[in-house]
Amino acid sequence: MSANNNTKAAPIPSEEILSRKWDECLSNVIVKSGIGLSVGIVASALVFKKRSWPISVSTGLGLGYALSQCERNFNPTLVPVAKYQDKK
Amino acid sequence: MMNVNRLALAGSKHLRPSQYRVMAQRFNSTDAPKLTAAEAAARPVVKSGLRFRTKAFITLTLIGAGVAGVVKHSFDDEQFRALLEDNIPHYAHSLDKLEQLRDNEDVEKIIAGAALVGGKIVDLGKNGYRTASDLINGTTTPAPEKPASSVPSSASQLVKKVQELEQPKPAVAAARAEYIPSVTPAPAFLPGAAPGKNASHVEKPKIVEKVAKKVEEVKEKAVEIKENIQEKIAEKKEEAPAPPKKLIKIAPIESEEPVMSSLNATLAQLVHILNENGIPEQGHEVFEKANEELKHLSERVEALKVEGEAQAATVMAELTEKYKRIVDEKETHHEGHISQLKRELADAFEQEKKDAIERELKIQQEILREEQKQELIKYAMDMQRRWVREVKVRVENERGGRLARLDQINLRLKTLERQGVDNADFLDQSSRTHQLWCGVKALEKAYEAGERRPFDRELARLKRLAETEKDAEVLKVVLAAVPESVAAQGVDSVPELMDRFEYVADKVRQASLVPENGGVLAHGMSVVLSKLMFKKHGLVPGNDVEAILARTEYYLVENDLEQAVRELNQLKGWGKRLAKDWIVAARRRVEVGQAIDVINTHANLVSLTLA
């Protein structure tokens, strides 16, 4: 916990922010799709009678979630359902 | 045999009952005749699916619906419309035309006209159907009452009703016109006044009435008397036409009273008349008697007059005596009063004079006293001035003697003092300048080191020096402008900055193609495509990212940090965000360099002005 606090407190050199974002994105993708995969395997094995589609669906869900997180990370101004209207 | 094997295989899988049924049908359908290839070819080929016409129709309908939907949505959503207009050629033009069409009033009129025409056609159709059905069936159905035509018929009905209503009106008016006026006459008088002539006489005063009455009586009497006299004259004439005429003689009575004289005149007239007409003795006697009586009357009147006058005289005498007495009394009284008043006034006057004289005396005394005081003061001042002048003269004389020498000695002493002080100052100043130079040199060394080095100690020393020095405002300000954190951490050196710049430039290039508010995909595309871009070097003109980076590199190589910072500051968006820290570090170095320059100049100035 304290290690976490320290890393948050130390300022990131500004040229690294994008690299940092990519790192987070990548880690997100790996983690979430991994979780999706495992959940899918478990669900397919236990609930869905060993069919193949729950695995792919779950992995896809995980990937999608990771993608939306990445999107929000890169573009923090994105708010769901809001549209940008140019001022006329 | 084959079938049994298949069934067995099928049984090993886990099948649903429907699947099982199908499989069973397939395996058990041995009785259906199998078609040979030729027979199969001879049969007409029924293509699966719909015919081409239907397919085309459906496709066209879908496309039309899609286009209509797109157009409708583009009318509603401005962003969508803008997007389409940008990407589809001639889209804007067609949309404008559609808008015009929509807003066009002629189109609305056409639509309304078409609606009317449609309605009429429908009516015609209905009529035709009715007539046709009548012809066929042989019946007559009445035309249905159109609700549209009922309005004008009711209007005509209303008109008829109005006309009916209007007709009896003139008869009524004629009946009204036969108005018979009333027979009773208008009253001739106002109810307040009494009828008759006496109304005018009510107001007259009663005295006038009496007088009038009297006058009438007198007139009547006079008239009677005249008539009597005339009768008598007539009688007398008849009785004695020729008696001897005795003229009546009357002595005219002379009196002062006008009444008497008038009576006399009338009597004389009467006598004259009688004399002319002739009159018997009786009359004569009567007239003489009357004359005598008149005389008596006049005498009596005269006597009365004299008596009256005598009485009046006595009364007058009494009154005058009384009056005189009263007047005398009053006079004496008033004289005494007046003399008293005179005495009093005289006394008051005397008193006033005395008072006035006293006052005047006092005033004069005051004035004289004042003048005396003034004179004394002037004299005193004069004396004082003379005394001061005396003292001055004496002092001057003395000064000329001994005091002059003291002055000289004082002067010399002062010059000596000043010289000593100046010397000390000079020594102080020079030592401080030395120290300043040392400090600046140390700072410069820290600044110019090959890597980042903290210089807070040197800065503190310089600050201490600046405090003790006079005219060091600029120095103090400049030293205060360098923040503590910068001094503690030190400042990057140029090679370090250059290294960092390479890294930063790389990152900036990667982020250069990202659009505004781009997400993951945009960033990813930018990273990939930026690797396909050419790198520029040298002093190239232009405002794009590559040009800016090239120029900054050039200035860095030339060691012109300021210009490099200014160039890199022109980046926008993600590039700027990425390069921010580098810009801050470079700025710090530039600022510290400027501060050192200023301190250098200050030290130069000080050492120049020292000598």
pLDDT tens figures, A9-24:
567 777 788 899 999 9
Query: Do the chains contact at B517 and A77, CB–CB below 8 Å?
Result: yes
Would an 8 Å CB–CB cutoff place B517 in contact with chain A? yes
CA distance B263 to B552: 164
- Range A73-80 average pLDDT: 81
> Count of residues for chain A?
88
Contact residues on chain A for B507, CB-CB shorter than 8 A: 15-16, 18-19
Query: Do the chains contact at A14 and B522, CB–CB below 8 Å?
Result: no
What pLDDT does residue B193 have? 47
CA distance B472 to B433: 12
CA distance B538 to B551: 6
The top-scoring range by mean pLDDT among A33-42, B132-141, B196-205, B482-491 is A33-42
Q: Which of B508, B520, B522 sits opposite A25 (nearest CB)?
A: B520
- Burial degree of B438 (CB within 10 A; 0-12, 13-18, 19+): middle
pLDDT digits (tens, 9 = 90+) for B479-491: 888 888 888 888 8
pLDDT classification of B145: cutoffs 50, 70, 90: low
Residue to test with chain A: of B499, B523, B527, B569, most A Cβ within 10 A: B523
B493 residue type, one letter: S
Contact residues on chain B for A83, CB-CB shorter than 8 A: 79
C-alpha pair distances (Å), B132 with each of B119, B137, B138, B239, B325:
20, 8, 10, 152, 156
Lowest mean pLDDT among B196-200, B356-360, B546-550: B196-200
Query: Do the chains contact at B519 and A15, CB–CB below 8 Å?
Result: no
What pLDDT does residue B114 have? 87
CB A65 within 8 A of CB A32: yes
Min CA distance, A45 vs chain B (Å)? 17
pLDDT digits (tens, 9 = 90+) for B70-119: 999 998 888 899 989 888 888 889 999 888 888 877 777 888 888 899 99
C-alpha pair distances (Å), B40 with each of A63, B525, B601:
52, 57, 110
Q: Which of residues 14-53 of A touch B (CB under 8 A)?
A: 14-19, 21-22, 25
* A vs B: CB pairs below 8 A: 51
Query: Do the chains contact at A15 and B517, CB–CB below 8 Å?
Result: no
Contact residues on chain B for A67, CB-CB shorter than 8 A: 520
Min CA distance, A52 vs chain B (Å)? 16
What pLDDT does residue B156 have? 60
CB B526 within 8 A of CB B545: no
**Angle, helix B473-481 to helix B456-468, in steps of 10 degrees:** 160
The top-scoring range by mean pLDDT among B191-200, B204-213, B544-553 is B544-553
What pLDDT does residue B573 have? 85
Intra-chain end-to-end CA distance of chain A, in Å: 49
**Mean per-residue pLDDT of chain B:** 80
Cβ within 8 Å of residue B554, ≥6 positions away:
B537, B538, B539
Residue B346 pLDDT more than 90? yes
Residue A43 pLDDT more than 90? yes
What pLDDT does residue B1 have? 52
CB B271 within 8 A of CB B294: no
CA distance B467 to B463: 6
> Count of residues for chain B?
611
Cβ within 8 Å of residue B239, ≥6 positions away:
B280
Lowest mean pLDDT among A40-44, B26-30, B329-333, B535-539: B26-30
DSSP string over B226-238? HHHHHHHHHHHHH
Residue to test with chain B: of A74, A83, A85, A88, most B Cβ within 10 A: A74
Q: Which of A15, A77, A83 sits opposite B507 (nearest CB)?
A: A15
Query: Do the chains contact at A70 and B579, CB–CB below 8 Å?
Result: no
Query: Do the chains contact at B577 and A14, CB–CB below 8 Å?
Result: yes
Q: Smallest Cα–Cα separation from B237: which of B188, B292, B277, B178? A: B277
Query: Do the chains contact at B504 and A85, CB–CB below 8 Å?
Result: no
- Range B232-256 average pLDDT: 56
Q: Which of B504, B518, B520 sits opposite A15 (nearest CB)?
A: B504
